C-alpha cells in the first residue's frame, strides 16, 4: 500500500487487492459495514451499522446503537466497477454534520491489473471545511485514517 499527501488540500492513498474490480467495488460499497472501523463514527454511543445508498445522490450514513441515523456524505458518482465518489460532510469538529454542511470529495477508482485490482483513493477539496480543515487532512492521511480503512477493506476481500 502507498500513502502520501499533496502539499495542498488532498490526500492520496492506494492498495492492491487480489480480486476483480467488480468484487472490489462491491466490497467497498455494499460491503462497507464489513470493513468500516467500529471506532470511527460521529454519533454518541456505539456504531451499529454503516452504509451506502447505491446511486448518485444516495447517502453515506451510520446508525448508532440507539437507532439514530446520521448522513455524513452523499454519493457523487456511481460507476461500477470503475469509480465511486462521495462527499465527506464531516468537518473539523468531528460531529454529526448539519444538512447544509460543505463537503470535501472522496473518489475511489478500481483499475484491473494482471493480479487483481489497483484501488486508488483521493480525498480532496478538504479546504471547503473552513477553519481547521488542516486537522481533517492530517486525520484522514494518518495511520488511523484512510490507510487503516484500506487495510480493513483489503482484509474483507
Question: All domains of the chain, ordered by start, with CATH?
Answer: 2-156 (3.30.530.20)
Higher pLDDT, 5 or 16: 16
SS3 for 98? coil
Statement: residue 1 has pLDDT above 80: no
Q: What is the pLDDT of residue 7?
A: 53
Specify the pLDDT at position 3: 45
β-strand pairing of 69-79 with 47-52: unpaired
Cα 14–Cα 154–Cα 37 angle in degrees, nearest 5: 95
Average pLDDT over residues 87-100: 95
pLDDT value of residue 9: 86
Query: Quick one: how far is CA 144 from the chain centroid?
Result: 13
Is the pLDDT at 117 greater than 90? The verdict is: yes
Longest dimension (CA), the chain: 45
Residue 107 has pLDDT above 60, yes or no: yes
Q: Whole-number mean pLDDT of the chain?
A: 94
pTM: 0.93
The predicted pLDDT at position 8 comes to 83
Q: Where residue 5 falls among pLDDT bands split at 50, 70, 90?
A: very low
Amino acid at each position: 500500500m502507498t500513502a502520501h499527501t499533496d502539499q495542498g488540500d488532498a490526500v492520496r492513498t492506494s492498495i492492491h487487492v487480489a480480486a476483480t474490480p467488480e468484487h472490489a467495488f462491491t466490497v467497498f460499497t455494499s460491503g462497507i459495514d464489513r470493513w468500516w472501523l467500529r471506532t470511527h463514527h460521529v454519533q454518541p454511543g456505539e456504531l451499529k451499522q454503516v452504509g451506502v445508498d447505491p446511486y448518485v445522490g444516495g447517502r453515506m450514513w451510520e446508525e448508532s446503537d440507539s437507532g439514530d441515523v446520521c448522513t455524513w456524505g452523499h454519493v457523487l458518482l456511481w460507476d461500477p466497477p470503475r469509480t465511486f465518489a462521495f462527499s465527506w460532510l464531516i468537518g473539523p469538529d468531528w460531529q454529526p454534520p448539519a444538512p447544509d454542511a460543505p463537503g470535501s470529495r472522496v473518489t475511489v477508482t478500481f483499475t484491473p491489473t494482471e493480479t487483481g485490482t489497483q484501488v486508488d483513493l483521493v480525498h480532496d477539496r478538504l479546504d471547503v471545511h473552513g477553519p481547521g480543515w488542516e486537522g481533517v487532512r492530517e486525520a484522514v492521511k494518518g495511520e488511523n485514517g484512510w490507510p487503516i480503512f484500506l487495510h480493513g477493506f483489503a482484509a474483507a476481500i
